[in-house]
Structure 1
Amino acid sequence: MEEAKSTVRAVERALDVLLCYTDATELTLTEISSKVSLHKSTVYRLLASLEAKGFLVRESDGDKYRLGFSIWELAAHMSQSDDPGMILLPEMERLRDQVNETISLYVRDGRERVRVQAVQSNHAIRRVAPIGARMPLFVGASSKILLAFGEAEVQEQAMLEAELAGILREPFLQQLHETRKAGYATSVEEREPGAAALAAPVFNRAGKLVAALAVSGPSNRLTLEAMLEQAPVVIEAARRMGTMLR
């Protein structure tokens, strides 16, 4: 039993190391050790095992590690038939060309939202949206969509975390009510200074919430007035996307 627990723990630690690359392309042993809160000697052994299986590659200087080809080999065999990130990419590009701002697609994963697809704006000054980025569920336009049209227990859990972050319950719930009524959500500098976003829900043909479709950009360009004008376009794009999903 102890051996089994040890084996599972080693697997979990190795997966934690790989998950460090959701927001980085190269990491040092020290950086990974800090991220996973493990001693360097333990992390070094994990890195050696992952490198041997091709999941990580050590750079020629020997100091940094990046993802290896085994990751891409696995990704190449993922089924794309139900992957909204792949199915909806052409429509996201179409929306980007209409509004000329960065377009993102978010899904809920536990207590966070994850950006699963993005199309960058053509503006020189733009909102850069890295795929795989994780954000809290209680702040931002996309979070409002995922909560307002999501399950009650998810809303309550997010509400508890929001209160811990100093967000008042009643105004928070009122925002969710207004989001459901309007069919879209906006945010201006809620998560980071100088950024604004507009989001709408994507429902599949069975009426189930699948994702949040978001337009984001600098707040001095993507003003509240501009977002109100763009809202019907984004809602319609989200509706079209929903008809493409099973």
Structure 2
Amino acid sequence: MEEGKVTVRAVERALDILLCFTDANELTLTEIAMRVGLHKSTAYRLLASLEHKGFVIRDAESEKYRLGFRLWELSANLSQADDPAIVLLPEMERLRDIIGETISLYVRDGHERIRIQAVQSSQAIRRVAPVGVRLPLYVGASSKVLVAYADAVDRESLFNSPTWPQSIDRNAYERQLLDIRASGFATSVEEREQGAAAVAAPILNRSGRLVAALSVSGPANRLTVDKMKEHAEVIKEAAVRMGKMVK
């Protein structure tokens, strides 16, 4: 039994090492060990196993590690037919062409949101939205949509989480969530990032289950509150079309 626990722990540590590369292209052994909280010798052994299996590559000259090609092989077998990031991309591009701002797709993962797809604005001054970034759930138009359309148990878990800021007036926030459900969209102006604004709507599948939040973002001086309200109906219509395309 004890041996099984040790094996599982080693797997968890190896996965933690791979997750280090979610926000870095290359890392040294020291950097990896610090990120996962391991001794360098332990990290080195795990990296050697990952390298042997092709999950990481070590550059002999710089002695830095990067993700290996085996991960690309695995990703090639993902079911594209069920992946909203792929299925909804044409509709996102269509919406970008209509509104002219950056379009993003967010899903909730625990107490965070992840941008799983983005179509950048073609305007010179724009808000760049990198795919894969994790953001807090307590701020931003997309976050409010994901919380507003979550079930009561999930919302309660969020509000009681130590990551949820105590400075947020829960009663006022819940009233805001009710308004979002009534109107079908949420807005934010410089809530997370200075000079940025966003408007978001829920993508609900045919069963009424929340699939993702569809967001339009841009500079606050261009994407004003009035402009966001003007765009809201177009965004909601796009979200309805997208909802019919996913499971």
TM-score range, shorter chain: over 0.9
| Structure 1 equivalent of residue 104 of structure 2 | 104
Please state whether the residue corresponding to 1:19 is helix, strand or coil.
helix
Where does the alignment leave 5 or more consecutive residues of structure 1 unmatched?
Answer: none
CA displacement at 1:39 relative to structure 2: 2.3
Name the CA distance, whole Å, in 1 between partners of 2:183 and 2:199. 12
Please state whether the residue corresponding to 2:61 is helix, strand or coil.
coil
Please state whether the residue corresponding to 1:164 is helix, strand or coil.
coil
Name the CA distance, whole Å, in 1 between partners of 2:87 and 2:15. 27
| Structure 2 equivalent of residue 153 of structure 1 | 153
Name the CA distance, whole Å, in 2 between partners of 1:63 and 1:190. 41
Report the residue type matching 1:139 in the other structure. Answer: V
| Structure 1 equivalent of residue 179 of structure 2 | 178
* Residue 235 (structure 2) pairs with residue 234 (structure 1): yes
| Structure 2 equivalent of residue 212 of structure 1 | 213
Name the CA distance, whole Å, in 1 between partners of 2:150 and 2:113. 12
Report the residue type matching 1:38 in the other structure. Answer: L
Matches within 5 A, 1:154-169: 154-161=154-161, 163-169=164-170
Matches within 5 A, 1:14-33: 14-33=14-33
Name the % identity.
Answer: 64
Please state whether the residue corresponding to 2:80 is helix, strand or coil.
coil
On the 8 A contact 1:163/1:169 being kept in 2, the answer is no
CA-atom RMSD in angstroms:
1.6
| Structure 1 equivalent of residue 95 of structure 2 | 95
Name the CA distance, whole Å, in 1 between partners of 2:66 and 2:173. 40
TM-score by length of 1: 0.94
Name the CA distance, whole Å, in 2 between partners of 1:33 and 1:188. 39
| Structure 1 equivalent of residue 45 of structure 2 | 45
| Structure 2 equivalent of residue 140 of structure 1 | 140
Where does the alignment leave 5 or more consecutive residues of structure 2 unmatched?
Answer: none
* Residue 246 (structure 2) pairs with residue 225 (structure 1): no
Q: 1:236 to 1:57 in 2, by over 3 A?
A: same
Report the residue type matching 2:88 in the other structure. Answer: L
On the 8 A contact 2:138/2:164 being kept in 1, the answer is no
Number of positions where the alignment pairs a residue of Structure 1 with one of Structure 2: 246
Please state whether the residue corresponding to 2:107 is helix, strand or coil.
strand
